[in-house]
Structures are given as C-alpha cells and as structure tokens.
C-alpha cells in the first residue's frame, strides 16, 4: 500500500523539481533579450549591461516594464560600470509577455525575487505610455 | 613477448581498417564565380584594401597575410542587429583567442560618427586586443565597395532605424584571400556551425600534411 502511494507521489515530486517556473518568460527572454544580454544574463564587456545580479534593475523595478517596451537612451550605471549605448524597445511584447518576462528575470537573477502582477505592469506602463 | 607483438599487429590492423572506413571529410568550398583563364580555373579573391583601425594603425591585406579572418559590417550607434552580431563575434574571438591564425575585421559603415577615437572607446568596451580584432574605418566608397567581395550588404538607407542597411552576416576568408564560409551573425546556432567551419579551415591550411 505504502509502495503504491509512493509511486503515485513520484510524478508530483518530479514536477516540483522542474526548475523552470516561468516557461513563457524564459521563451520571451531567449527570443528577444538573449541576443544582446546573453543566455546567462551577463551582458557583453562594458558595452551591454548584465540583467543578472543588476543593482540598477533592483533599484528601478518600477521602470522596467517601460524600458522593455520603449527602450532606454539614458546613460546608466550598473554595478559600478557606466553604460551609454541605446537599447531599443520591444513593442512586439504585450502586457502579459512583459509580466512573464519580468517575473522570469526576477526569479532567475533578481536580488529580491520581486513578483509583478499583470495589474502592476499595466499600471506602470500607463504611466510612461503616450 | 610474442603475444604482445601479435596483439600490437592486430591493433594496428584494426586501426588501419577503421581509417579506411571513414567517410570522406567535409571540406569547405571556395565561394564565388570561378573563371577559366587559359585552361586554369581562377577563383575570386578579396580585392586590395587599406583602412585605419581603433589604434590608428593601417590595416590592409598584408595585416592578414597568411592568416584566416572573419569579416563583418557594423556601426556603433546601431540599435538593432549589431549588438547581437557583436555578442557572437566576441564568442568567436574568445574561442580562437589563443590561435594566431584566426583574426577578426569589423568595418564600420558609419564613417561620419565612428571615428578612430569612437572605435577605440568601443573596442575598450568590448574588451578586445587590437592585434586580434581590428575595428576599421576609411573612405566610405572603399568600405561600401568591400560589400560585394564579402557577399554582404553595406549601404546608407535613411528609412531604416539607425540610417544604414547592412546584413548581419559573418564571412570567413582564408589565407589565400578566398571566401570559404559565411553565416547569419545574429543566430547563435548558425555561428556554432560557422565556428566548426573555422576549425575545418584551420585543419586544412595549418595542420601538417600526412
């Protein structure tokens, strides 16, 4: 009896072990971000800033949805390094995509694992939109 | 002792047979239209050029004498594909950093903004050595004129973001100035295949003949 129970529980345990909690966000990262910010989120030299362990992102959680949609032209400092190249926005990503993407990045590499709801993202986007 | 001898012979025979059954190795073609001149086949070669790199040094065909090199076209304030291509070029740079036979040559197509000083700053941000990876500028006509030799697009187009039209293509040139391979420099998988091609070329041109 105990054996059967264990057998039944096994798939559940295996599902729990699936580390990829945000498959949609992971797919969006791969398709739209990894080309420049690199698969591991480390960026490139002092040309492209990292998104993994970025103090700039941790300090600007509320700006991130707008940066993803509309891009960034300002010179910024990330982990003590100055970055001045423009990032283009990604208008192809809708509100849901951006929410998934942000949660994936936060979960994967964020300092505080901040969680965004779709409502948060819509509110933040409305503050920077046209 | 005799046993050892026999087994060595047996081993040698097995190895020899294994050698015979190998499928013929893939080899890289010479790309472009060949011509037959007086019965000899003549392959197209990259034309003579002379540019200036991020350290203000002249870069010409002699800079790559006897070595293979990877070519691309870019510009610094390119918001779209260039950063992706540069990420991939950096992968190639890192992978062949210790191999003196592989160099890189990136042409800026924005000659007005990408001055030597701007290229120098850009190279510092990429964290690269000039001797391995030249970022060059020069006369606009000469740079755009290289496009055809490298099967690439490089021209102005004010309707596009950034103001230039260029393919994100990477091109492999061998020590005889023949183009041997190319790939879409924005696609990591294509670049994996391209790096295999570089390995193949190195084997063809720099391994001691048996």
Residue B127: list chain A partners with CB under 8 A.
Answer: 45-46
Residue B58 phi/psi, 5-degree rounding, is -70, 135
CATH number of the domain within which B84 lies: 3.40.30.10
Axis-axis angle for helices A95-109, A118-128 (nearest 10)? 110
Distance from the Cα of B122 to chain A's closest Cα (Å) equals 8
Where is A65: in which H helix or E strand? helix A64-70
Report yes or no on B147 lying in a domain.
yes
Per CB-CB distance under 8 Å, the chain A contacts of B92 are none
Q: Which of A38, A45, A71 sits opposite B126 (nearest CB)?
A: A45
The residue count of chain B comes to 210
Question: What pLDDT does A19 receive?
Answer: 56
Write b or e for each residue in A32-44: b if 16 or more Cβ atoms lie within 10 A of its Cβ, otherwise e: bbbbbbbeebebb
Q: How many domains does chain B have?
A: 1
Question: B114 CA to chain A: closest CA distance, Å?
Answer: 14
How far apart CA A16 and CA A19 sit, in angstroms, is 8
**How far B58 CA lies from chain A's nearest CA (Å)?**
25
Handedness of CA A103, A107, A109, A114 (dihedral sign): positive
Range of the domain at B71: 30-206
Residue A126, both tokens: 């409305």
Q: Is residue B190 in some structural domain?
A: yes
Contact B124 A46 (CB under 8 A): yes
pLDDT band, very low/low/confident/very high, at B9 (cuts 50, 70, 90): low
Q: Which residue has the higher pLDDT, A2 or A28?
A: A28
Rounded to a whole number of angstroms, the distance from the CA of B125 to the nearest CA of chain A is 5
Give mean pLDDT, residues A8-23: 62
Note the pTM of the prediction, 2 decimals: 0.80
> What tokens were used for B62?
């002699």
> Tokens 């696609």 identify what position?
B187
Residue A67 confidence (pLDDT) above 60: yes
Long-range contacts of B185-189 (CB under 8 A, 24+ apart): B185/B72, B185/B81, B185/B84, B185/B85, B185/B88, B185/B89, B186/A35, B186/B81, B186/B84, B186/B85, B186/B88, B188/B88, B188/B91
Q: What are phi and psi of B64, to 5 degrees?
A: -110, 20
CB-CB: which of B77, B80, B86 is closest to A44?
B86
From chain A, the residues in CB contact with B124 under 8 A are 46
Q: Is the pLDDT of residue B128 over 90?
A: yes
Q: What count of CB pairs under 8 Å joins A to B?
A: 37
B45 min Cα distance to partner chain A (Å):
32
B150 lies in some domain: yes
Contacts of A93 (CB under 8 A, 6+ apart): A28, A32, A68, A69, A101
Going by pLDDT thresholds of 50, 70 and 90, the confidence category of residue B78 is confident
Q: Does residue B5 lie within any of the structural domains?
A: no
Contact list, B86 vs chain A (CB under 8 Å) = 44, 47
Are residues A86 and B77, on separate chains, in Cβ contact within 8 Å? yes
| Helix H or strand E segment including A119 | helix A118-128
CB contact (8 A) between residue B83 and residue A44 = yes
For residue B4, tell me if it sits in a domain.
Answer: no
pLDDT for the residue numbered B22: 54
Residue B193 covered by a domain: yes
Q: Which residue has the higher pLDDT, B106 or B156?
A: B106
How much is the ipTM here? Answer: 0.73
Check if the beta carbon of residue B164 is closer than 8 Å to that of residue B110: yes
Which residue in A has a C-alpha nearest to residue B121's C-alpha? A47
Q: Which residues contact A3 (CB under 8 A, 6 or more apart)?
A: none
Position A126 scores a pLDDT of 95
Task: Collect all residues of chain B within an 8 Å Cβ-Cβ radius of residue A44.
Answer: 83, 86-87, 90, 126
pLDDT band at B156 (very low <50, low <70, confident <90, very high): confident
Question: Where does chain B show beta strands of DSSP type E?
Answer: 35-37, 40-42, 50-52, 58-60, 68-74, 102-108, 133-136, 154-156, 164-166, 169-173, 179-184
Q: How distant is the Cα of B9 from the closest Cα of chain A, in angstroms?
A: 50
pLDDT at residue B159 greater than cutoff 60: yes
Contacts of B36 (CB under 8 A, 6+ apart): B42
DSSP letter at B137 equals B
Report pLDDT for B16: 56
pLDDT level of residue B185 (50, 70, 90 thresholds): very high
Interface of B with A (CB under 8 A): 76-77, 79-80, 83-84, 86-87, 90, 122, 124-127, 161, 186
Is any Cβ of chain B less than 8 angstroms from the Cβ of A75? Answer: no
Using an 8 Å CB-CB cutoff, list chain A residues near B90.
44-45
- Asked if residue B13 is part of any domain, the answer here is no
For residue B180, being part of any structural domain is answered with yes
Hey, what are A127's tokens? 């503050």
B91: nearest CA partner in chain A: A44
């Amino acid at each position: 009896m105990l054996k059967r129970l264990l057998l039944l529980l096994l798939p559940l345990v295996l599902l729990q072990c699936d580390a990829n909690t945000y498959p949609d966000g992971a797919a969006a990262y791969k398709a739209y971000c990894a080309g420049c910010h690199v698969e591991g989120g480390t960026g490139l030299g002092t040309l492209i800033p990292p998104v993994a362990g970025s103090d700039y992102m941790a300090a600007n959680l509320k700006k991130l949805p707008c940066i993803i949609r509309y891009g960034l032209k300002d010179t910024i400092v990330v982990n003590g390094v100055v970055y001045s190249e423009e990032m283009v926005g990604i208008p192809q990503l809708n509100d849901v995509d951006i929410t998934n993407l942000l949660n994936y990045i936060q979960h994967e590499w964020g300092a505080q694992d901040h969680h965004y709801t779709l409502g948060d993202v819509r509110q933040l986007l409305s503050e920077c939109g046209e | 002792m005799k046993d050892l001898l026999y087994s060595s012979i047996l081993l040698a025979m097995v190895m020899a047979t294994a050698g015979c059954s190998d499928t013929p190795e893939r080899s890289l073609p010479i790309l472009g239209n060949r011509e037959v001149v007086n019965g000899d086949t003549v392959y197209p070669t990259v034309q003579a050029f002379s540019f200036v790199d991020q350290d203000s040094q002249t870069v010409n065909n002699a800079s790559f004498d006897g070595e293979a090199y990877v070519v691309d076209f870019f510009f610094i304030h390119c918001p779209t594909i260039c950063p992706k291509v540069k990420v991939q070029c950096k992968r190639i740079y890192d992978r062949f950093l210790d191999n003196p036979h592989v160099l890189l040559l990136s042409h800026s197509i924005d000659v007005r903004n990408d001055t030597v000083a701007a290229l120098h700053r850009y190279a510092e941000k990429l964290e690269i050595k000039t001797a391995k990876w030249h970022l060059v500028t020069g006369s606009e006509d000469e740079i755009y004129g290289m496009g055809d030799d490298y099967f690439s697009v490089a021209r102005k187009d004010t309707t596009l973001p950034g103001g230039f039209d260029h393919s994100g293509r990477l091109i492999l040139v061998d020590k005889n100035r023949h183009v041997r391979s190319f790939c879409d420099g924005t696609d990591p998988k294509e670049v994996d295949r391209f790096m295999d091609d570089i390995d193949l070329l190195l084997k063809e041109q720099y391994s001691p003949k048996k």
